[in-house]
Amino acid sequence: MKIVLVVNSMGGPGGAERVAAVLSAAWAQRNDTVTLVPTYSKHGGCFFPIDEKVRMIYLADRVRHSPLRRVNYIARLAELRKLFVEEQPDVIVSFLTNVNINVILASRGLRIPVIACEHNDPVADGRPFLWKLLCRLTYPRATALTFLSQSMATPFEKMRSGDTPHIAVMPNPIPDELFSMTRPQRVEGRKRLISVGRLNPQKHYELLIETFAKVAHDFEDWDLWIWGEGPERPMLTRRIAELNLSRRVFLPGSTQAAWDEMAAADAFILSSRFEGMPVALMESMALGVPAVSFDCPSGPRELMRDGQDGLLIPPGDATALAAGLRRMLSDQALREELGVRGARSIRDRYSVAHILTIWDRLFAQLRLG
């Protein structure tokens, strides 16, 4: 099958970029013809490795830049349509809201099936009214819409007329090599509670840092490491200093060795206001790292069962989060038990092979391939 996969960019460490790299490689390795199209970044390095069988086309390299934003947008849309006409794929798969809208518009009338993939909860992510309106106008014209969880899919089911477009729940896959990684031998010394994500309001790191401050004096051998970069770095740095935590809370920036950092951690925490399906939480659990997470919309509740393979905390509740941290940090036996159960649960449900069967089921339902 000939697949064109369209994404925003491949230059950053985001969850959608990682999934695009994993899926494109998996399809290419089974001899599908795969073209990966970043729409906003020019030719350059990709944050995640791309399989050598995957063809890359950088849309920005084909569009002449104009100082007028509207002209740029129209030119990009026209070039995207031209690319679809040239490639004549069996299916176009697009990731993230802005790309989904552009792909649906650019492919109008071409009779090429479009599968638009949402990676955030449209109810909880606070998208502006204009984006909601554009989704309402364009998404019904897709051949299929996929969502990372059923709770994300439900609002869109009310949008459609009859059975069009087809709606499917399509979880993110976890790369096979992650399951084969060995966590380093535990040694005496300082323990690490880590989080991985952009330093932005969605991740709610200010609340996490303030909550850690409440328990830090009872756990002198634990530090908090938050890997990622983003606009809230100056504010978070100031808050760490105000709380006298400069030797206990660290913001080391982005890393291309996130798996190694997770594997070396003693516990993982997700403090987000909302998610789609949190990739970093999935990956940490796959590595056997015990996790604490807000029960935010959406994803964490589908990944873990409270007290069985992780600790779920009422969303935004700092007092409950502090209690959950105390429980996790004080009990090594609990951490080991949650880590083992979490890894087994993720492996059974989110391996690449298993997720590919779900994609193949969708392709079959759409009579593709």
- CATH number, domain at 61? 3.40.50.2000
Mean pLDDT of 34-49: 86
10 and 140 in a single domain? The answer is yes
283 and 232 in a single domain? The answer is yes
Q: Does 180 or 50 have the greater pLDDT score? A: 50
Q: Is the dihedral of CA 297, 263, 231, 214 positive or negative?
A: positive
The domain in which residue 216 lies consists of 177-349
Listing DSSP states for 291-309 in one string gives EEEE--SSSHHHH--BTTT
H or E stretch at 3:
strand 2-7
Residue 123 has pLDDT above 70, yes or no: no
pLDDT of amino acid 28: 97
pLDDT of amino acid 124: 62
Q: Does 126 or 152 have the greater pLDDT score? A: 152
The pLDDT confidence band at residue 212, using thresholds 50, 70 and 90, is very high
216 and 290 in a single domain? The answer is yes
Residue 117 has pLDDT above 70, yes or no: yes
pLDDT of amino acid 345: 93
Mean pLDDT of 222-247: 98
Cis amide leading into 165 (omega within 30): yes
pLDDT of amino acid 82: 97
The pLDDT confidence band at residue 281, using thresholds 50, 70 and 90, is very high
Query: Are residues 5 and 36 in contact, defined by beta-carbon separation less than 8 angstroms?
Result: yes
The pLDDT confidence band at residue 161, using thresholds 50, 70 and 90, is low
322 and 193 in a single domain? The answer is yes
Q: Is 39 exposed, middle or buried (0-12, 13-18, 19+ CB in 10 A)?
A: buried
Residue 158 has pLDDT above 80, yes or no: no
Which of 55, 341, 27 minimizes the C-alpha distance to 19?
27
151 and 201 in a single domain? The answer is no
214 and 250 in a single domain? The answer is yes
pLDDT of amino acid 12: 82
Task: Identify the weakest region by mean pLDDT among 12-16, 51-55, 135-139, 165-169.
Answer: 12-16
Residue 160 has pLDDT above 80, yes or no: no
Residue 57 has pLDDT above 90, yes or no: yes
Q: Does 297 or 26 have the greater pLDDT score? A: 26
183 and 39 in a single domain? The answer is no
127 and 15 in a single domain? The answer is yes
Mean pLDDT of 161-188: 83
280 and 194 in a single domain? The answer is yes
In whole angstroms, give the CA distance from residue 138 to residue 101. 6
Backbone angles phi, psi at 168, to 5 degrees: -140, 150
The pLDDT confidence band at residue 152, using thresholds 50, 70 and 90, is confident
pLDDT of amino acid 338: 98
226 and 322 in a single domain? The answer is yes
Residue 197 has pLDDT above 70, yes or no: yes
How distant, in Å, are the alpha carbons of 230, 255, 283 from that of 235? 11, 21, 28
Residue 10 has pLDDT above 70, yes or no: yes
Query: Are residues 107 and 165 in contact, defined by beta-carbon separation less than 8 angstroms?
Result: no
290 and 359 in a single domain? The answer is no
295 and 241 in a single domain? The answer is yes
Residue 83 has pLDDT above 90, yes or no: yes
Task: Identify the weakest region by mean pLDDT among 40-44, 159-163, 242-246, 334-338.
Answer: 159-163
pLDDT of amino acid 162: 67
Residue 71 has pLDDT above 90, yes or no: no
Task: Identify the weakest region by mean pLDDT among 131-140, 211-220, 330-339.
Answer: 131-140
Cis amide leading into 298 (omega within 30): yes
Percent of the chain whose predicted confidence (pLDDT) is above 70: 96
Residue 220 has pLDDT above 90, yes or no: yes
Domain count, the chain: 2
